[in-house]
Structure 1
Amino acid sequence: MSDKDFPYSGFSSLAIHAGHQQDPNYAHLTPIYATSTFVYDDAEQGMRRFSGKEQGYIYTRWGNPTFHEAEEKIAAMESFGVTDEHGDPLILKAYLQASGMAAISTLMMSTLKAGDKILSHYSLYGGTQEQMNTLLPAFGVDAVIADLRDLTIAEDMLKKHPAIKMIYIETPANPTIQCVDIEALTLLGKQYGKVIACDNTFATPYLQQPFKYGVDFVIHSTTKFLNGHGTAIGGVFMSRDVSFMKGKAYKVYKALGGSSSPFDAFLLVNGMKTLEVRMERHCSNAEKVAALLNTHSAVASVNYNGLTSHPDHAVAKKQMRHPGAMMSFELKGGLQSGISFMNKLQLCTRTVSLGTCDTLLSHPASMTHYSVPKEQRERYGITDGLIRMSVGMENIEDILSDLEQALK
């Protein structure tokens, strides 16, 4: 039995070993292949590589061994225990990118054309929202935004806009932590012949596997929980349609030039090996933080899917192993309360991004969503007093203590 065929019994074994191929020099870990190009034994081999008759590396923008391990590991995690329509283990193809936005751009450019529309929902990552609002329309692709938690509304939009080609979901969503029903939306979308794409960054493959519910594409900002240490920017997009990925998607991937770097890929590979144990601590801490915030007099409301009071609690429980480590909460007092709270933090880190070992807090109204008009922000649930929190792995007593003193 080869290493690749070993029947992993659990997620951590898979995360540590999947995707690894023995280096020709027998290095324990896959090396950082810091090379822009690759050489050939002779001209004929170069011809075979460029024609596709022989597998092998040509140019790092087109693929690199360090990228390959990261891609294979992420694909293995997203497909772990998932079967295809024939009951066979699901096979995925993934491409590592320089950022999550590069992955989304490659997805959009390879699947959409002028005249197509995207159906998506309120509360998206600011970069994704900006791409849908300002960049894609210039290429003739418009977004239809609706509350996709209501399937009646979703179906009405599909009927009203036959040009919709893709349903794009982000669940849990940024920064309101709204959850949409992946299975129900996918079934609905397939009835109308639509492509389904899901951003799984907040949940990670450990907590949620969208391919289990029939989606066509999954995207991650690997910068976040997958890397886990805030050391490198990255993104990945993958699909169950392997022929499409090796064909049109690969051409777009090469042409756009948004490939990763070998060093960033190396950091990602090693970060992913501890994903399960990190997520267990993140999630355990998050439950206790949510309990504190939910009863604090300075907090108007808490957006955390682990709370039974959250409107999307049942959906999250259905499709996630755990509600996760992300939450947001509304402070009484609006914008000034948000700024004052952020300034008082001592242990927790004031910054954008998420998924690192330390606890990160941001104030969307003055940071990530500052450029979004106030009226539009509030319609999406991003109010002046909203704080987004990525609960870290510090001792929970220290996280709670810092929050309590900052909330006074």
Structure 2
Amino acid sequence: MKNELTGWSSVAVHSGNIQDPNYAHLTPIYATSTFVFDNAEQGMERFGSLDKENIYTRWGNPSFKVCEQKIAALEAFGLKNEDGTALELKALLHASGQAAMSTLFFSNLVSGDAILSHQSLYGGSYELMTKILAGVGIEIIIEDLSDLSILESVFRKHPNIKLVHLETPANPTIRCVDIEHITRVAKAYGALVSVDNTFATPYLQQPFKYGVDFVFHSTTKFLNGHGTAIGGILIGKNIHFMKTKAWKWYALLGGNGNPFDAYLLNQGLKTLELRMEKHCENGAAVAEYLNSHIKVDHVNYIGLPSHPDFLLAKKQMRHPGPMLSFELKGGLEAGKKFIDRLEMCTRAVSLGTVDTLVSHPASMTHVGVPKEERLKYGITDGLIRMSVGIENIKDILNDIEQAIDA
């Protein structure tokens, strides 16, 4: 393209698009398990290339490629290398967020290595670490990484730390960690850094700006935006690693996406900026309402000055976002009644869809996390998580009000 794209929506709409040989306006669904070769030499060339394209869909597919390039472009938008050149990234589209996280962990860690992470992680991430990685000899270290004073001592105590995995904002307490500071210390001790950017999306936060090595998303959430398909993506800045070792784990674990879900993801990505603007506007309004309600005990929302990570979020995010959690003064029983009384807001797990989703982490997304661990991380029995949608704000607030006051 002659002129460099200057806006988020332009990148989301146009980046990664592949010209279809039949001149379809939109990238088609390439619903094929395998691809043909014109001759033996072409087949050998494709197999010998680092870009395993047009061979077998478990290895790659044009429907995947458009999403991979689009999301990589969004994560790199406006960012430069130290020499002033535009940052280039490589992405691999997976069947789910858990599949993408598996590729991340297993391509970087072996028995005897350690992974450092922090409190209040998504339940699936916590269980993958403690029940799968720990079972193959990888040490799991969970620390309060909001306390930066302990960071160097953790690395000195555990010289086998090879990867630091951050989730910021974290699920469901909406706590943040300092990506820039943690990455700087990790690099000094020779460790890689990955960031789960699912809650923020690249529109609100770009971790590669701070020197991280990998960014991970559950594309099921805000990137798709409509709850129509499961997916996950791993993005890395070491292009050779992503095309070799990471790709090998991706292909052999069989965690690839499928063309139908990739098509749906591609359509959702095109409206990311528009949706996130409305999500964020509504999220801030809901947080303010709940924070001033007499029946609400506390609200976890990083846009409130009372939140411990308010200033940090302002530093590394463009907006606090649409995710929040809160607890009513009546605890668990009051929370259950609130959820049951909702009329418009949707009772469901997951997040990032156009409708407002409400869930109960202790009994749903974090049911596999031991209670003593949950409570230590602030995931109480009465905590309610809300992914604020793009409905009319008056209707969202009316539903919340009647559910609390009924």
TM interval, shorter chain, is: over 0.9
TM-score of the pair, normalised by structure 2: 0.98
Tell me the distance in 1 between the aligned counterparts of 2:216 and 2:361.
Answer: 22
**C-alpha distance 10-27 of structure 1, shift in aligned 2 (>3 A):** same
Deviations 1:255-287 (A, max 9, x none): 010000000000000100000000000000011
Measure, in 2, the Cα distance between the counterparts of 1:268 and 1:54. 22
Q: 79, 85, 89: which one pairs with 1:88?
A: 85
How far the C-alpha of 1:183 sits from its partner, in A, is: 0.6
Measured after TM superposition, the shift of residue 28 of structure 1 is 0.1
Q: Is the 8 A contact 1:301 1:329 kept in 2?
A: yes
> Hey, what's the Cα distance between the residues in 2 that align with 1:176 and 1:373?
16
* Cα-to-partner distance string for 1:223-246 (whole Å, 9 max, x where unaligned): 000000000000000111001111
| Whole-angstrom distance in 2 between the partners of 1:260 and 1:214 | 28
- 1:158 equivalent to 2:155? Answer yes
Instruction: Please list, as runs of the form range in 1=range in 2, the aligned pairs for 1:13-162 lying within 5 A after superposition.
Output: 13-52=10-49, 56-162=53-159
Which range moves more in the overlay, 389-398 or 42-51? 42-51
4+ residue runs over 3 A deviation? 53-56
CA distance in 2, matches of 1:63, 1:98: 12
Letter in 2 for 1:174: N
Q: How many residues align?
A: 405
Aligned-residue Cα RMSD (Å) equals 1.1
Question: Does residue 400 of structure 1 match 2:401?
Answer: no
Aligned to 1:312: 309
Indicate the residue corresponding to 2:186 in structure 1.
189
Residues 196, 217 of structure 1: 8 Å contact kept: yes
- Does residue 10 of structure 1 match 2:7? yes
2:215 alignment partner in structure 1: 218
Structure 2 residues without counterparts, runs of 5 or longer = none
Is 1:204 aligned to 2:201, yes or no?
A: yes
2:52 and 2:366 map into 1 onto residues whose CA distance is 44
Residues 116 and 54 of structure 1: CA distance in aligned 2, closer, same or farther (over 3 Å): closer
Q: CA deviation at 1:340?
A: 1.2
- Report the Cα offset of residue 53 of structure 1: 8.0
Q: Distance in 1 between matches of 2:239 and 2:186?
A: 20
Q: What secondary structure does 2:363 align onto?
A: coil
Asked if structure 2 preserves the Cα contact closer than 8 Å seen for 1:225 and 1:354, the reply is yes
Counterpart among 208, 229, 236 of residue 233 in structure 2: 236
- The reply on whether 1:387 has 2:377 as its aligned counterpart is no
Unaligned runs of 5+ in 1: none
2:119 touches 2:144 (CA, 8 Å); kept in 1?
yes
CA apart distance, 1:54: 8.2
How far, CA to CA, are the matches of 1:396 and 1:99 in structure 2? 31
Deviations 1:167-191 (A, max 9, x none): 1000000000000011111111111
1:260 counterpart (257, 263, 281)? 257
3-state SS, counterpart of residue 300 of structure 1: strand
Determine what percentage of the aligned residue pairs are the same residue: 63
2:162 match: secondary structure = strand
Name the SS of the counterpart of 2:163 in structure 1: strand
Amino acid of the residue matched to residue 130 of structure 1? E
User: Please, which moves more after superposition, 177-186 or 155-164?
Assistant: 155-164
Structure 1 SS opposite 2:116: strand
Judged with a 3 Å threshold, the aligned counterparts in structure 2 of structure 1 residues 54 and 7 are, in CA distance, closer, same or farther, namely closer
Q: Which secondary structure state, in structure 1, belongs to the residue aligned with residue 353 of structure 2?
A: coil
